[in-house]
Amino acid sequence: MEKYDLLDVPHLIYVMDPMCSWCYGFAPVLHRIKNEQEGKLNFKLVLGGLRANTEPMDAENVAKTRQHWQDVEQVTRQPFNYSFFDRTDFIYNTEPACRAVITMRYLNAEAELEMAEKVQAAFYAGNNDVTNEVVLAEIASTFGVEEDVFLEKFNSDEMKEKTQQDFLIARRLQAVAFPSMYLLNGHEVHLLSRGYRTYEAMNMLLENAMKQINNPK
């Protein structure tokens, strides 16, 4: 068997956070791009760690968050459940949701991106509290992972460390806005986009980057 190396094959790197509203809006675009590039590019998901809040949202943050959701809904037509804003004392900490996706990476790697998408939908469309490990375990169970198995792994020091490693990779990539997309070719990392892009814009950026790789000057 040939030794596999991340650097051997071009990769599309997607940096996101399941509790980032623009990432949720970008999900259909990503799905289309990923499907079209199947067999041409490998895919790598990096969890970015949008917020690590420890205090409940104040009135100002609630208002800003509602405005963000309205903006995303208008641009992307993704469904939002605004009953979220009836919650009180909600702590908007995205680390557990990110760790849940990374936990799935190690329990059922093929379901990693789908796990991220289900967490997104559960939060934004379903108004589920995805900072709650019980909710996350229920989502994981839809991929055939027993809840107690998921929770044991999720709460392990290993998964907490792996989550922080993803956050570090995101910082090293200078992914200062989510979603961010990169093209990795050997040791070269090409920034495709920071922030939301339409499918047409994203596809053009990817095509231009692939042309540069295939026809270097």
What ranges make up the beta strands (E) of 48-172? Answer: none
Mean of the pLDDT values across residues 42-62? Answer: 91
Number of neighbouring beta carbons within 10 Å of residue 174: 13
CATH number at residue 149: 3.40.30.10
Average pLDDT of 144-151? 98
Per-state percent for the chain, helix, strand, coil, to nearest 5: 55, 10, 35
Domain extent at residue 85? 11-214
Residue 3 lies in a domain: no
User: Is residue 84 in a domain?
Assistant: yes
Does some domain include residue 35? yes
Handedness of CA 15, 17, 18, 22 (dihedral sign): negative
Average pLDDT, the chain: 93
Classify residue 2: in a domain, yes or no.
Answer: no
Residue 5 lies in a domain: no
- Residue 91: strand, helix, or coil: coil
3 pLDDT more than 90 = no
Structurally, the chain folds into a number of domains equal to 1
**51 found inside a domain:** yes
Quick one: pLDDT at residue 2?
Answer: 38
pLDDT at 1: 31
Q: Is residue 112 part of a domain?
A: yes
User: Encoding tokens for residue 157?
Assistant: 């020091």
pTM for the whole structure: 0.92
Helix (H) or strand (E) holding 135: helix 133-141
